[in-house]
Structure 1
Amino acid sequence: MSRHRGSRAASVPDGGPVEGLYEIDTGTCELVKDRYLANGWILEVNGVPSSHIDVSDPTILEFEYMRWITQLLAGHFARDARLRALHLGGGACTMARYLAATYPNARQVVVEIDGRLAELVRDWFDLPRAPLLRIRVGEARNVLTSLTDATRDVIVRDVFAINRTPVALTTVQFTRHARRVLAPGGIYVVNCGDTRDLTNARREAATIGSVFEHTVMIADPAMLKGRRYGNVIIAGSDLPLGDSPTLARHLLGGAVPAQVWTDGQVRKFAGDARVLDDSEAPVERRTPEPGAHESGTSGTS
C-alpha cells in the first residue's frame, strides 16, 4: 500500500482515490481498498472505520445502519420529493451520495468539521456538485443553531469522536434546535453507538421523545437485547414513524436482520432514563435555547 505521510501539501493523484495515509486537520485519515468489492473503498479517520463507498454505484451501502436509515426515509418520503437534507457528520458523504441517486430532486448540505478531509473526499469521489450537494466546513452544533426555522425535511446526525457522539450533539437543547430547523413532517435521525448496557441509547431515546411526538428505533435483535456493542438508529418526527409493514419486512430481510420499535416501545425502552442536558457538555459547546436564537441571522445553507 502506498502511504502519503507528513505533509498537508501531498497532492491527491488525478483519476480517483488512491490508497494511503493522509494528514487532515483533525489528525489522519487512511483510504483502504475494499478487498471484497471491486470498486469499494473504506475511509478510516484516526484509525477508526468511518465510511464505505462504492465509486461505481452510490446505492451500495455496506454499513447496515445506513441501510436502516434509508429504509426508514423511503417509507416517509416519495422518490420525487424535493428533499432538503442536512447531514451532520460528513466522512465520505456516503449517505448524501445515496440520497442524491435515489431522490434526484433533493438538495443537500453535509457539515464536516475537518476542512482538509472535505477537500480530499471531493477529490477522491464523484460527488454531486452544488446546489445538489454542498459540503459546509464547520462544527455541527454551531451550524445547526445558525439555520433558519423549518428549512429542512431530513436531519441526519452521524458524528463520532472515536466511538462516541460528543455530548453537546445529544442534549435536549440540541434536539430542540433540530426540531426548530425541521419543516412540518420532517424527520430527525441519529446514529447512536452504544455498549451492551444501552445507557446511551436509553438516554437518547428519552431525549428525542421529550421533544418529538413520535419516535422510532431500529437495531438488530442482539443489540436490543444488550449482547454486544453496536449501532442503534433513533428518529423523531411530528408524524408517526415506522409503522409500515413494508419497513419491517425490509429490515428483517437485510444481511443483518433488524427490528423496528415504534413510539410506544421506544418510550417503554427509555423508561425513567434521564434526558441529556447541556450541563453535561463542555461549557464552550453550549448554545442558546431555540427561543433565544435570532432565526435567520446566519446562513441557511
Structure 2
Amino acid sequence: MNAPPAPRPGRHRVRLGEAELLQDADRPSGWLLSVGGVAQSYVDLDEPAHLEFDYMRRIGDVLDCLRPGPLAVLHVGGGAGSLARYAAATRPGSRQLLVDADDLLVELVSAQLGLRAVPGLAVEVGDGRAALAAAAAGEWDVVVLDAFHQATIPAGMVTLGSVSDVDKALAAGGVCLANVTDGPGLAFVRRVVGTLGAVFEHVVVVGEPAVLRGRRFANVVVAASRDELPVAEVAGLAAGAVFPARVVPGAELMGDPITDDEPVASPLPPEMFT
C-alpha cells in the first residue's frame, strides 16, 4: 500500500474562514491546525496518543480512568480528530463517529492529516444537534461535545434539549465530556454545569486552579454521568500533570440551566477584542 502524501503547511479556505496548517519545529510529525487565527487542534501523526493541549490531556485523563477495553465514542466537533486518534491508539477496537459541520475543514484534515484513515473512526459532515437527536438510545459510551465556531461554542450546543439527547444516546455508565471556554467569573461554565446537572446526577469540572478561580480565560473540561465518575483517579492524574489541574464538584459551580428558548454562546477570548 502506498504511503499517504506528507502534509503541507499552508493556508486553506474553509466554511468558517481561513484554516492554517503549521508543522511543529520540535516534533516533525506534529501539526497545528488553526481556524480564523484560533488554535483548534494539534495532532502528532507518528504518536497519536500525544495530546498537546492541556484541556485535551484532561479529557484523555477521564477516558483513561473509564472501564478497560474498547469504547464507543461520539465526537460532536473535533477539528483534526486529536481525541479520536487518542482513543483509537489507547483503546484499540473502539468504534467512533466524528461529526463536524464544516465540510471543507473535514476534507482538509482528511487529505492532509489522514482523518478518515483513523482506525475505527467514521467521519460525517453534519449538524451536531441533529447528530445527537439521531443517535440511538444507549448507542455511545462517551459523547464529547467539542463544537466551536472559531473561538466560541455555538449558542444552542449546550442546552437542556441537547444535553437530554446526550443522555438518551449514552449507554449505562456512559459519560458526557464537554470542552468549555470561559473567563473571570466563570459565568458560562456555571450555566453549562447547571445544564448538565439538571440531567445528570454526577458532574465535575477539571481545570487549572487559576482558571477555576476565575482569574484568566481558558478551557475547562466538564464531565457528567448518571453514575459515579472516577473522581479520585482523574484528580490524581490531573494533579501530576506538567501544568497541574484540579477536579471540582459540579455543585460548587452550579448555575441556571441553559434552555433552547434562551440559548447562550460562550464568551470570546479577551484577545479577540484587541
Instruction: Report the TM-score, using the length of structure 1 for normalisation.
Output: 0.83
The match for 2:263 among 273, 281, 286 is: 281
Partner of 2:236: 249
After the TM superposition, which segments of 4 or more aligned residues of structure 1 sit over 6 Å from their partners? none
SS in 2 for 1:30: strand
Q: Is the 8 A contact 1:51 1:92 kept in 2?
A: yes
Partner of 1:176: 164
1:162 aligns with 2:146: no
Q: Deviations over 1:231-263 (max 9, x none)?
A: 11111111111332x3222111112100012xx
SS in 1 for 2:167: helix
Alignment of 1:216-235 (within 5 A): 216-235=204-223
Alignment partners' CA distance in 2, 1:93 and 1:277: 29
Q: Deviations over 1:14-65 (max 9, x none)?
A: 6221110011233221101122322211101122110011111101111011
Q: Is the 8 A contact 2:88 2:118 kept in 1?
A: no
Partner of 1:268: 252
Q: Is the 8 A contact 1:100 1:128 kept in 2?
A: no
Q: Match of 1:64, as an amino acid?
A: D
SS in 2 for 1:162: coil
Q: Is the 8 A contact 2:210 2:216 kept in 1?
A: yes
1:193 aligns with 2:193: no
Shift of 1:207: 0.7
Alignment partners' CA distance in 2, 1:128 and 1:224: 36
Partner of 1:11: none
Q: Match of 1:145, as an amino acid?
A: A
Alignment partners' CA distance in 1, 2:219 and 2:126: 25
1:23 aligns with 2:9: no
**Greater shift after overlay, 176-185 or 159-168?**
159-168
Q: Is the 8 A contact 2:110 2:116 kept in 1?
A: no
Q: Is the 8 A contact 1:159 1:165 kept in 2?
A: yes
**Unaligned segments of structure 1, at least 5 residues:** 1-13, 283-301
Partner of 1:39: 29
Alignment of 1:65-214 (within 5 A): 65-78=55-68, 80=69, 82-127=70-115, 129=117, 132-214=120-202
SS in 2 for 1:191: strand
Q: Is the 8 A contact 1:32 1:43 kept in 2?
A: yes
Q: Is the 8 A contact 1:242 1:260 kept in 2?
A: no
SS in 1 for 2:261: helix
Q: Is the 8 A contact 1:33 1:42 kept in 2?
A: yes
Partner of 1:293: none
Alignment partners' CA distance in 2, 1:50 and 1:120: 14
Instruction: Report the TM-score, using the length of structure 2 for normalisation.
Output: 0.91
Q: Match of 1:203, as an amino acid?
A: R
Identity %: 36
Q: Is the 8 A contact 2:23 2:30 kept in 1?
A: yes
Alignment partners' CA distance in 2, 1:24 and 1:164: 17
Q: Match of 1:254, as an amino acid?
A: A
SS in 2 for 1:206: helix
Q: Is the 8 A contact 1:97 1:128 kept in 2?
A: no
Alignment partners' CA distance in 2, 1:146 and 1:254: 37
Alignment partners' CA distance in 2, 1:241 and 1:143: 25
**Unaligned segments of structure 2, at least 5 residues:** 265-274
Q: Deviations over 1:250-299 (max 9, x none)?
A: 111112100012xxx311321xx2110101239xxxxxxxxxxxxxxxxx
SS in 2 for 1:52: strand
Q: Is the 8 A contact 2:72 2:139 kept in 1?
A: yes
Q: Match of 2:101, as an amino acid?
A: I
Bigger radius of gyration? 1
Q: Deviations over 1:54-85 (max 9, x none)?
A: 1111011110111111111211221x2x3110
Q: Deviations over 1:77-101 (max 9, x none)?
A: 21x2x31100010311111011000
